[in-house]
Amino acid sequence: MSKKKVKKYKRKTHRGAAKRFKVTAGGKILRMHSGKRHLMGTKKANRMRRLKKLALVHKADAANIKYLLPYA
């Protein structure tokens, strides 16, 4: 009897998530801050510097994002 090879399905990366999130070497997920699109003149420079930096995704949301990025 010969065994049939079962083909493993390839998952597709969610392109919207791929553009919004970055995975570190340690497996943590980074995201951008919101609030930088418009009305920058009213925001203080210190606040804008803080918003410029990347932030970690909360671990409660990380599992959903890892599902969207199967090969990250």
Tally of domains within the chain: 1
pLDDT at residue 36, rounded to an integer: 94
56 found inside a domain: yes
2 found inside a domain: no
Closest to 17 (Cα-Cα) out of 69, 72, 71, 55? 69
28 found inside a domain: yes
pLDDT at residue 1, rounded to an integer: 64
Over the chain (72 residues), what is each successive 10-residue block's mean pLDDT?
82 97 97 96 97 97 96 90
6 found inside a domain: no
Domain range for 20 is 15-33+42-68
